[in-house]
Each structure stands twice: as structure tokens, then as C-alpha cells.
Structure 1
Amino acid sequence: MNIKNYILKHKKKTIFLVILLIFYAFCLPKELFTKPTSTVITSKNDELLGALIAKDGQWRFPHNDAVPEKFKICLIQFEDEYFYSHPGFNPISIFNALKQNLKAGSVKRGGSTITQQVIRLSRDNKSRTYFEKLKELILATRLEFRASKEKIITYWSSNAPFGGNVVGLDAASWRYFNRSSSDLSWSEAATLALLPNAPNLIYPGKNQQKLLVKRNRLLKKLLTKNVIDSLTYELSILEEIPQKAYRIPQITTHLLQKVNQQKKGQFVKTTIDKKLQTQTNTIVKNHYNQLSKNGINNIAVLVLDVKTRQVLTYVGNSPTTNKNQKYVDIITKPRSTGSILKPFLYAAMLDAGELLPNMLVPDIPTNYGSYQPENFDKKYAGAVSAKLALSKSLNVPTVRMLQGFGLEKFHHYLQKLKLKDLQKNANHYGLTLALGGAESNLWDLCKSYASMASTVNHFSENSSRYFTNEFTEPTFYDYKKVDFGKKSKEKIIFDAASIYLTFESLKDVNRPNAEENWEFFDSSKQIAWKTGTSFGFRDAWAIGTTKDYVVGVWIGNADGEGRPGLVGVQTAAPILFDIFDKLPKSDWFENPFDEMSEIEICTKSGFRATQICEEKKLEYVQNSGLKTAPCPFHMLVNVDKSENYQVNTSCENLENIKQKSWFVLPPLLEYYYKDKNPFYKSLPKFREDCLGENKNVMKFLYPTEKSTIFLPKNFDGKQNELILKVAHSNKDAILYWYSNTTFLGTTKEMHQFAVKPTVGEYQFTVMDHLGNEIQQIVIIKE
């Protein structure tokens, strides 16, 4: 009641007081410090990986609430011994400072507390007048109401100047001692506690003796107050003063730039494994030093943890020159894929029930219009297992498999993988889609391999269940945990068995690049890996996966220049295996038996065995493999006792006729297959005294179908010959060759015929001695 009466009697004073209190309550800005800060990234273990200088040219790390105890003690003992007991200002210190300044006739001593210094720092160190001091004092008391003493210490530590363009304790620790502030010794903490007192007068590299004396004086004070013992003191004063500033670590520069685009000026904890990142940097540098001698200047590497989908290593480019675009982050840039997409085709065909791992696929000269795919060694095997075609990265079988599977169907699978650079329709890429006709990037490809590996892991670990968000994006932010979605009985893209069988096909470590050039890698680790080389030797790829890790490598030139020797198995694969050597050894994937069935397989053809297959074996295949066709290459034939001739009852007694299962390939496949398989036995011909059909089969080796052919000219300016080739199942057959209706000649044993056609369309006809006939249309252009 007395208060109410006082207010009524002294309205003006009350209003003035209320206004004063409101002003006092709001006199302190909500944000004390608004200057730009550096973007800082650390490893998953809080080790500094790199930082970018702030926009205003200062090394000013983002605000840090964690101030090391050593530095806190040194700071308080040097700057404000009564920090924890005053309300924001120290009357005794102010009185002593005023007395000394009046006596000197100028400002010689400040008497400011740490809280007042925080206010002065937030106001850009305005001139040290008595009026300004009064404002600092008022704001300091207001700050004491708003923030705790510990918070005020963090304000000071994050914003105090430490000489040059270094602001804040964290930046100073790295610039002057090349370590985190939490790892500072007593001597180092004492040195840094001194610097803000006169940052422009005393800092490492300048006035060394004066700085040394001040540091030792502070250490002596710590000894006197029993903060440190005598041994610590003696050892501390022996430590040298830093002579110059260190460079801020730049361990993963391209990731730092990526983070800066998304979280500029922030302190970001990443998923990077610093030790592995450093080791990978060294590996990349060593290989770059060799490759650059051949004009190959750019390398990118990505390492993912399969289980967490976290990025463990991020090398966006090699330590090359500015001229060679060292600052370009190639990990996310689209590049020609080469053969690196082949495993996806293999897995898709397994998943769709159109392939078994050991099923024979054609490897013969092939034309699709003007497109003529070739293997790397320009040779043919006639027929190879799908598994071997993948492990040897044969182009011709891949294109024929893609043609049979369906371009649109394969394109649909790739779209499900969310390869963001695959933006055109299937017809745009054509049959080159699996050989490098499309573009993708290292990020998306590694993501896909990791998702496939994780699919098998999750299937085995979760009672044969899939996760709905299995094919998700990896992350390099530590706070972001990947959500794999809900469990599901349904596959997401590929079933676990198809992926497992694909990895089984890729884990062979002895991999030929060509017959005369074998590359051998340590087989102690089971790794499913694939290389790729783009047309013109512009891009070299190697991606490998274990149960726990995916490593991806790209090598080439950022400007797209091709170089001889820029081949995946020769350049990218060695880096891949050097990195895997640094990773912990992983167990191999568990067999997803719930998605597999054990069936009889024809040993020679790899197809599902029929009753007449002579050699069979039991093999686990994907469940969808039960839909594949039965073996088409075995037939029952009647032969004589020697098995040298086919016979029938017109020429041989029934008791002398043997019925035998015979492995027979079509003529075109057989022609090349028997060169690589010396134990292959061609189907015997009918004995001459036998009556009945004795039909022989033949087929064009070149060209294999209607083709448009461009005949180049030789060095004399004359047009080269067109060499026609035909395979016949009867080695003794005589062939008769015709161009349109014109007879050209005959061949025996080696069925090749050279013609010199002019520009135009021709129908070439070949007839054997029994009257069998084949035709082929060829369009000749210059």
C-alpha cells in the first residue's frame, strides 16, 4: 500500500524509473556478435578437417560453448581474478585504474572485467573514453543478468582477437599450435590467454621476449596459487613461444566446399574417418605423381560405410594444378560410364528370371545396323558363361544380352536406381547403354553398389525381409542418420539372390584385361569389384564392395581429354585395392537361401538341365531362375560304335547303332568356340552310305546381318576389299559364291571371299555342294 501511495505521489519519477528499467531491459542486443564466421568441418571423432576463412578475411571459427579448463583458469588469473564474484564490473579495479590514469594524464589502465571486454568486443572496440566505459559497465551488468558466467567466458573465447587475422580461441589454437584448444598444454594455454590483452603488439613472431616474460609470469602465478605443481611449472617455462602461424588443415577440401554451400559459416561434424581420409590422400597423391607423367591429371575417390551409408572418405580431385582444374569436385560430375553399369544389367536379368550365372551367351561378331560392338581385345570366344562375360567385361556378350533382355526394361531398372544423370529415354542411348553410352557420377554409382550390398545384409539379418528405403542417399553429416524405412517381404529393385550372385561373379580377383595383359591383385580379401573404361580412353573407373565398405575410384582429365593407357584395370583398380588394404577385413556376404532354389544345371551349357544333358550338377540359383529356358544345346543323335559318324538303319544294323547325347552349338558360335575349347567335338556328319537327310548348316560370320559398310581407302588411294566370311558345319563342304546373280567363285575349308564392290546395294548368296543356301544384303558407302 505504501508503494502504491508512493507511485501516486511521484508519478513523474515512477514513469522515469519505468522507462529507465525498460531501456535497461532492452539495451543489450539479442545477438551480441553478428560478424561472419568461418565454415569449419571436423571428422566423426571431432578432429579438424578444414576451414574456410570468413567473408571479412578473418579466421573466426563459429561460437563454441566448450572452453577448456586450462585456458579458462589462465584467462581468469590473467584478466579478471574476481570474475566469479563481481556483478559485471569490479569497483576496486575501476578505482585503481581511474587513479592511475588521472595521475598519468591519459588512459594507461582499463580495469575492465571479462564481461566488460565481451561488451567492448561486441561493439567493435570503440574508443576507450570514460563515457564509453560507462556504457560498457551498464551493458556488462545487463549481460550478467542474461547469461551465466560460463556463457560469458564462451563469448570472450570465441570473439577475442589473437593477433593478425586470428579471432577466437579455436582458430588461435590451430594457427599458433596446430592443435585443438582441448589439447593445449599449460604453457600454450597461458600464451593464448595473454594475446588478446595486446593482440597488435605481442603475438607469435613479434616481441618474442616480451611475450615469453609475460607467459612465465602467469605460469608463476599459477604455481603460487597451487593451480599447477612445481614440475609442471618447470616443464612449462621450457616450452618455446610459437615462431609463426600454422596453416589451417585442409584434409578434404572439396567436401569443405560442398558443406560451405549448404551450411556457410557453421561448425559441422562430418562422418569422415580422418585416418582413412589422410591415408587415401597419400595414395591418391602417389598415383597422381605417376599418372600425371602421362597427362592424366584428375582422380576422385569415395568410400562409403555400407551399414550406416556414411561417407568415410571424400577425395573430390587429385592435388593437381589450377590449369588442370584442381578445384573441380568430380565426385558429383557426370562422366561416361564405360563398363561400370554391366553388373546392373547382369543383376536385372537374374532378377527377371532371364539368366543363370553359368548360362552360355554368344560371343561372336555382331552387327546392329551400323553399330558393331567389339571386345577390348577384338577377339571372340564363340560362347562364354554369363558370369565369365561379366568378370572379363566382354562387350559383345553384354550388347547381345541387352538386346535380348530389352533396352526399355534395363533403362527402367536404372531409373529405379535414381542415377540422376540418366535423363534421356532408352532410345537415345541405344545398345551402348551398358558400354558407356550413358553418363553417371561416382556418388550415384557408389550409392547403388552400397545399396545392393546392404540389401543382401539386411535380408540375412532380418528374417529374409527387405527395407522399403534401401536405395537411399548416403550422408556426410554426422547428425543425419539414414532411415532405411520399414521392413517388407517384397524386393525393392533387385532380389537378394540376384545381387548375391552378381557379387559372386565380381569377386574373382584374377581378372584379365586382355590375354597378354593379366593384372593380379591380392586374393586375401573377398571383394566384388568392377572396372570400366570409356570410349576414347577418357574415363577409368573401379568400384568394389565388401559386406561393410564400398570404394569407388574415377580417373581421367576434367576437360575430357583421352589418354593412352587410361584403362580402368590399369589405373583405377590399383588405387581401389590400395584403399581396401587400409580398411578392416570383411567377411563375405551370407548366402540368401530363402531367395534361392537348388536345381540341376547342365554342366556344359549352364542352362537348366534336361534329361538328355550328359553332365549335370546341382547349383543354387535365384528363385526367378526357375523360369529360364532348358538347355537348347544338347540333342540325341545316332552314331556308329566309333562315334565318328552319324548313322541310321539304312546303313547300319540296329545293334551297332549307339544313341548319344551331343553338345552342339550353332555354326557361328561353334566356329569361334572350338578354338578356345579344344575338347569340344563337332557333331559328326552322316556316313556316306547312309540314306536320308544329310543337311549341313552354314552361316555368315561377316557380315552377320543386313549391314551398311563404309570401305576406307588405303595409302595408295585405292578402296580396300570387303572380306566376306562364312562358317560351315562340314569342314569338307565346297561353297559357291554369288554377288546378286553374278558367280564369283568357290571356296573349300577356309570360307572367305574378297570382293571389291562399288557404292550400292548387294545381295551376296552362298550355296554349298548339297544345295543349302544363305543370303546377306550389304549396302556399300564411301
Structure 2
Amino acid sequence: MSKKLVITLIIAGIIIIPVLLSPLPEFDDPLSTVVEARDRTLLGARIAPDGQWRFPAGGAVPEKFRKAILTYEDRYFYIHPGVNPVSLIRALAINIRNHEIKTGGSTISMQVARLSGGNRPRTYMRKTIEILSALKLELIRSKKKILELYTANAPFGGNIVGLEAAAWRYTGKLPSDITWAEAAALAVLPNSPALIFPGRNQEILRKKRDDLLHRLRERNYIDSLTLVLALEEPLLSEPVKLPAAAPHLTDYFFVARGGERIRTTIDFRLQERISAIMEMHQKKLEGNLIFNSAALVVSVESGEVLAYVGNSTAENASAHGGDVDIVRALRSTGSILKPLLYAAMQESGDLLPNTLVSDTPTRFPGFTPENFDRSFSGAVTAGAALSQSLNIPAVRMLQDYSPERFLELLRETGFTTFSRSAEHYGLSLILGGGETSLWELTGVYASLSRILRKSGNGEEYFRSDFHPPVLIPVTTQDTEKDAGASPLSAASVWLTYEALQNVNRPESEAGW
């Protein structure tokens, strides 16, 4: 081995070994909980545990911001290996001349290394570590990934971290929708967020933004007309509130999957429409001292949740339990299980639509049920008893079918809230003796309609067609079907729906 080769290897080792031994920039800061509609529109977000608006990484950096930030911070980003020697030498000369650290000459990669280390004092030793970490980062990560790391973790003033949180808080837009003027203003913030964040030192912010816009024009990223229009745009203002299109759903995911980005099946436009309808009717309901309401819209075909309004969002809602998510909250089932009992008895052959059942005063072990209007109809058909929601025939039917069998059927169709024994519920189960949620009720009734629709289309239906509402989009089609028998057939569901078509709405509110 020649002497030159040995010297070369020693020099390479002196350079490479410190780089390999240096820490790789990693980020483990707590994250905000972000909930999105199907089209990625923001439904709502909750702040991270450390009090920062720090969204989970959202992928590719938007083109306008990418060009703006690289023009302002690191124009040689795609050329250098993580360190720009010219910038470092210039920064060193400035610092020596001023007898203090005035500038760092940092590249984007070096800033990623600094951000991952927290707010530590700026020293020459710290700068050396940042240089080594930046070189290691460039060896392991792509330029695209490094820029994404910077964009997701750069400070943007106050308690706002990362481009996405900044775009929503300062512009109320997705990062991909910001203008050139907004991109330029956001690009200058990480350099000195405490000095010029929007709402303070506006003239400094304007000068930095406008200077950057002129530089973007010089590099032909924008044309002259775009420059003129951008210069006329107003500056970023103080942070605005984040969208809150589905506050109760956002709260649910904050508890269930805090610190994550959750893309849901929600149709944003439908969510807004349903919320507006609910708000309009809520104003009328408050006249009758009804302060809470909820709505859940589910696609029968797929079971996907299209709209989720957990409660009223009126100004005085909090004083009347408006923070409670009624979609998930348990409440008495009332008469809503009667159609399922009717379908179950059709399925088992214990009942036909025209079978006569007794609606006469009856005392059962433990209680004496009455109809809503406290009248009796004598002998009525089972279909009429269901369409009129008569209580005494329903209790008789449950007694004949048995609470044990009915409770098993409820669990097979998708209810999970009936966790106690049949003996605990007794015959009162059919009149509201148990509790469930709007979430589970909607899932079960959507499943009933699903098998009926499949049967009408000549398709097979399976046990797996009974499932809860779906909130997260299914990315891969599940080809494995549970070939087990459906707990109810399409025929029994059809007969049940046929009977329910004869339901007459009360003509006045007094009839409710």
C-alpha cells in the first residue's frame, strides 16, 4: 500500500468517522391531532400536549413555498452536501469582526439538525455538531425528505410550528392554496419568528416579504404581473381560529388517536349543509326548551359516515350540555328496537304480518306497560301494532320470542352496548330498558337496508354486511367475506319496512 493511499485513507477516516458518529436529526415532539374530510379539507384540530400547534407531517412541500423558502434560506440546497463552505466562511468572518455570533451561515440541512436539538445556546461547538449532523443527514435522507422535515418543524411565530399549521392559522388555507405573497411572507418567518410574526413589526415583515418577491421575480419563478399583484396583497394578520366543522368528531379522535392525522370519510360540503340545517332547526327547538340535537349521515351501500354532527354548536350550547357527543352517548332505546323484534319473529316463523296480537290491559312480572295514549285497541295485526308502536303487543311479542333470543340477535346485528344478561333487562328491553347510541343504531339500520338493497339487485349478502359505520376510508377492498348466515334475511327486513310504511306522523307536536 502506497504512502499516498494511506494518507488519503487517514484523512478520509478523520472526516467520515465524526460524521458517522454524530447524532442523526430526529423529531419526537408531541403533535397536534388533525382531522380531515375525505378530500383532505380540515375538519378540526386539537393543540399538542406541549401547547404548540404542530401538525403531523403532511407530505410534499407545496411548489410556491418550496421556491420561496429555498430562495430565501438556501438557494444552493440541491447542490451542496449539507454544508455550504462559502456561507460558513462568510458567517465566520462577520462573527469575528463583531466579536459575537451574528449569523450562522446555516443551510436547510443544518437548520434541521439545529431544530432537532431544541433551543440550545449558539456556540461554535454546537455549530460543529450541526455541521456533522447535517452531513450525516444528507447521506441517509433524500433532499425531498430533508426539506419536508424542515417545513414540518420550522417555527413560524408564537406557538405555531410547521408550514401547515402556519398556513391554516395565518391564511385559513391549505398550504397548497396559498398565494405567492403568502408563500413569501411565510418563508421569511422561520428566520426570526419572534421578531416579525404576523400582527407585530409589520413594516419589517413587509420589507422582507417584498424583497423576497423581487428575488423570486429575478429568478423567473414569477412574472412581472404576478409580482405587482403580490406586492399589493395585504400582509398576514394575527392568527385566526382553525376550522371547526366537526368539533365532536375532532374531540373523539383527540381521545382515541391523539397526535395523529386522521383522514375520514366525511363529505365536507354535506357536513356543512347538515350543520346548517341542524342550526336552523335548533333555533326553533329552543323555543320548546330543547337544547341538544345530533345527526349522523351514513351511506347504506358502503356504511361510510358522510356527516357527523355530535350536538348543537349554538353560542349557549355549553350551558346545556352542548359539549356532549350525542352520537356516541348512551341513552334509552325507547321504541327503536321494536322493528328488530318484528323482523326477528318474521325470520323465525313465530309471527306473520297479519297475525293478531292482543292490545289489552296486561300485567307482566315486575311491571304493567301502557301505550303512549293510554288507550287499548284490542286485537290488532302484528304489522299494525308495529306501525302504531303499541307497547303492550310489543311486550307480549318479546315474551313469546324470549329476551334471551332477542338479546343474542341484537348482538349479532352489531349492538355492543347491551352488555348485561337477559335477566337484567327482562321484558322492559323492548320499551327502552336498555341503552345504546345513535352511532350503533345507525350502523344496524344501515346494515338492514344494505342487505335489502343487495337482495333487490340480485346480489348475495353475508354476515359481514352487518357492520358499524365506517369513519376511515377503506384503501384496499376486502375480498374475504364472512360466509356465515346473515342474522336476518332480506325477506324479513322487507316485511318490516313494509309495515313501517304505514306509520302516521302526529299532526301536532302534542302527539309526540
Q: Which residue identity does 1:470 align to in structure 2? A: D
Contact 2:274/2:307 (CA < 8 Å) preserved in 1?
yes
After TM superposition, list the pairs within 5 Å mapping 1:347-358 onto structure 2: 347-358=343-354
Give the greater-gyration-radius structure (CA).
1
Q: Closer, same or farther in 2 for the Cα pair 1:412/1:122, shift >3 Å?
A: closer
Question: How far apart are the structure 2 equivalents of 1:185 and 1:417?
Answer: 51
Aligned position for 2:465? 470
SS in 2 for 1:298: coil
1:554-601 deviation per Cα after TM superposition (whole angstroms, max 9, x unaligned): xxxxxxxxxxx7xxx85xxxxxxxxxxxxxxxxxxxxxxxxxxxxxxx
After TM superposition, list the pairs within 5 Å mapping 1:510-521 onto structure 2: 511-513=504-506, 517=507
2:373 pairs with 1:373: no
1:197-242 deviation per Cα after TM superposition (whole angstroms, max 9, x unaligned): 1100001111112211221111112222221111111111111012
1:223-275 deviation per Cα after TM superposition (whole angstroms, max 9, x unaligned): 22221111111111111012211111122222222222332211111111112
Question: How far apart are the structure 2 equivalents of 1:482 and 1:453?
Answer: 21
Question: How far apart are the structure 2 equivalents of 1:272 and 1:506?
Answer: 29
2:443 pairs with 1:450: no
Contact 2:155/2:162 (CA < 8 Å) preserved in 1?
yes
2:127 pairs with 1:133: yes
Question: How far apart are the structure 2 equivalents of 1:370 and 1:472?
Answer: 35
RMSD: 2.6
2:408 pairs with 1:412: yes
2:383 pairs with 1:390: no
SS in 2 for 1:302: strand
Q: Closer, same or farther in 2 for the Cα pair 1:152/1:373, shift >3 Å?
A: same
Q: Which residue identity does 1:333 align to in structure 2? A: A
After TM superposition, list the pairs within 5 Å mapping 1:188-337 onto structure 2: 188-319=182-313, 321-337=317-333
Question: How far apart are the structure 2 equivalents of 1:263 and 1:430?
Answer: 37
2:30 pairs with 1:40: no
Contact 2:356/2:380 (CA < 8 Å) preserved in 1?
yes
1:665-685 deviation per Cα after TM superposition (whole angstroms, max 9, x unaligned): xxxxxxxxxxxxxxxxxxxxx
Question: How far apart are the structure 2 equivalents of 1:146 and 1:118?
Answer: 14
After TM superposition, list the pairs within 5 Å mapping 1:606-645 onto structure 2: none
Q: Closer, same or farther in 2 for the Cα pair 1:407/1:83, shift >3 Å?
A: closer
TM-aligned CA deviation for residue 479 of structure 1: 4.6
2:175 pairs with 1:181: yes
Question: How far apart are the structure 2 equivalents of 1:295 and 1:479?
Answer: 41
SS in 2 for 1:299: coil
Q: Which residue identity does 2:331 align to in structure 1? A: R
Q: Closer, same or farther in 2 for the Cα pair 1:403/1:518, shift >3 Å?
A: farther
Contact 1:336/1:436 (CA < 8 Å) preserved in 2?
yes
Q: Which residue identity does 2:263 align to in structure 1? A: K
Across the two proteins, how many residue pairs are aligned to each other?
510
Q: Which residue identity does 1:35 align to in structure 2? A: D
Contact 1:28/1:143 (CA < 8 Å) preserved in 2?
no
2:148 pairs with 1:148: no
2:491 to 477, 487, 497: 497
SS in 2 for 1:472: coil
Q: Closer, same or farther in 2 for the Cα pair 1:91/1:482, shift >3 Å?
A: closer
Q: Which residue identity does 2:377 align to in structure 1? A: A
Task: Return the structure number with greater strand share.
Answer: 1
1:88 to 75, 82, 92: 82
Q: Which residue identity does 2:122 align to in structure 1? A: R
1:491-542 deviation per Cα after TM superposition (whole angstroms, max 9, x unaligned): 311111101121222234x6244xxx458xxxxxxxxxxxxxxxxxxxxxxx
Aligned position for 1:524? none
SS in 2 for 1:331: coil
Question: How far apart are the structure 1 equivalents of 2:247 and 2:284?
Answer: 22
TM-aligned CA deviation for residue 58 of structure 1: 0.5
Question: How far apart are the structure 2 equivalents of 1:337 and 1:393?
Answer: 13
Question: How far apart are the structure 2 equivalents of 1:423 and 1:174?
Answer: 43
TM-aligned CA deviation for residue 487 of structure 1: 6.6
2:19 pairs with 1:24: yes
2:91 to 84, 97, 104: 97
Q: Closer, same or farther in 2 for the Cα pair 1:461/1:239, shift >3 Å?
A: same
SS in 1 for 2:57: coil
Q: Which residue identity does 2:212 align to in structure 1? A: L
Q: Which residue identity does 2:174 align to in structure 1? A: S
Q: Closer, same or farther in 2 for the Cα pair 1:127/1:412, shift >3 Å?
A: closer
Question: How far apart are the structure 1 equivalents of 2:283 and 2:273?
Answer: 16
Contact 1:429/1:438 (CA < 8 Å) preserved in 2?
yes
SS in 2 for 1:200: helix
TM-aligned CA deviation for residue 163 of structure 1: 0.5
Q: Closer, same or farther in 2 for the Cα pair 1:433/1:208, shift >3 Å?
A: same
TM-aligned CA deviation for residue 84 of structure 1: 1.2
TM-aligned CA deviation for residue 152 of structure 1: 1.2
Q: Closer, same or farther in 2 for the Cα pair 1:482/1:338, shift >3 Å?
A: farther
Contact 1:392/1:512 (CA < 8 Å) preserved in 2?
no
Contact 1:469/1:483 (CA < 8 Å) preserved in 2?
no
SS in 1 for 2:298: strand
Question: How far apart are the structure 2 equivalents of 1:482 and 1:347?
Answer: 30
TM-aligned CA deviation for residue 125 of structure 1: 3.7
Contact 2:32/2:55 (CA < 8 Å) preserved in 1?
yes
SS in 2 for 1:312: strand
TM-aligned CA deviation for residue 330 of structure 1: 3.0
TM-aligned CA deviation for residue 342 of structure 1: 0.5
Q: Gaps spanning 5+ residues in structure 1: where?
A: 520-564, 571-782
Higher relative contact order (CA 8 A, sep 6+): 2
SS in 1 for 2:225: helix
TM-aligned CA deviation for residue 473 of structure 1: 2.8
Contact 1:458/1:467 (CA < 8 Å) preserved in 2?
no
Q: Which residue identity does 2:61 align to in structure 1? A: V
1:59 to 53, 61, 71: 53
Task: Return the structure number with greater helix share.
Answer: 2
Question: How far apart are the structure 2 equivalents of 1:213 and 1:329?
Answer: 48
Question: How far apart are the structure 1 equivalents of 2:477 and 2:436?
Answer: 23
SS in 2 for 1:318: coil
Question: How far apart are the structure 2 equivalents of 1:141 and 1:6?
Answer: 24
Aligned position for 1:689? none
Question: How far apart are the structure 1 equivalents of 2:418 and 2:152?
Answer: 47
Q: Closer, same or farther in 2 for the Cα pair 1:240/1:16, shift >3 Å?
A: closer
Question: How far apart are the structure 2 equivalents of 1:327 and 1:254?
Answer: 7
TM-aligned CA deviation for residue 180 of structure 1: 0.5
TM-aligned CA deviation for residue 43 of structure 1: 0.6
Q: Closer, same or farther in 2 for the Cα pair 1:16/1:100, shift >3 Å?
A: closer
Contact 1:53/1:59 (CA < 8 Å) preserved in 2?
yes
Q: TM-score, normalised on structure 2?
A: 0.92
Question: How far apart are the structure 1 equivalents of 2:88 and 2:482?
Answer: 69
2:107 pairs with 1:113: yes
Q: Closer, same or farther in 2 for the Cα pair 1:220/1:429, shift >3 Å?
A: same
TM-aligned CA deviation for residue 179 of structure 1: 0.7
Q: Which residue identity does 1:47 align to in structure 2? A: T
Q: Which residue identity does 1:140 align to in structure 2? A: A
Contact 1:468/1:484 (CA < 8 Å) preserved in 2?
no
Contact 1:42/1:48 (CA < 8 Å) preserved in 2?
yes
Between 1:472-481 and 1:376-385, the stretch displaced more is 472-481
Q: Closer, same or farther in 2 for the Cα pair 1:72/1:20, shift >3 Å?
A: closer
Q: Closer, same or farther in 2 for the Cα pair 1:437/1:23, shift >3 Å?
A: same
Contact 2:19/2:135 (CA < 8 Å) preserved in 1?
no
Aligned position for 1:345? 341
Contact 2:199/2:236 (CA < 8 Å) preserved in 1?
yes
Q: Closer, same or farther in 2 for the Cα pair 1:118/1:409, shift >3 Å?
A: closer
Aligned position for 2:455? 459
After TM superposition, list the pairs within 5 Å mapping 1:616-765 onto structure 2: none
Question: How far apart are the structure 2 equivalents of 1:302 and 1:481?
Answer: 25
Q: TM-score, normalised on structure 1?
A: 0.61
Q: Which residue identity does 2:220 align to in structure 1? A: N
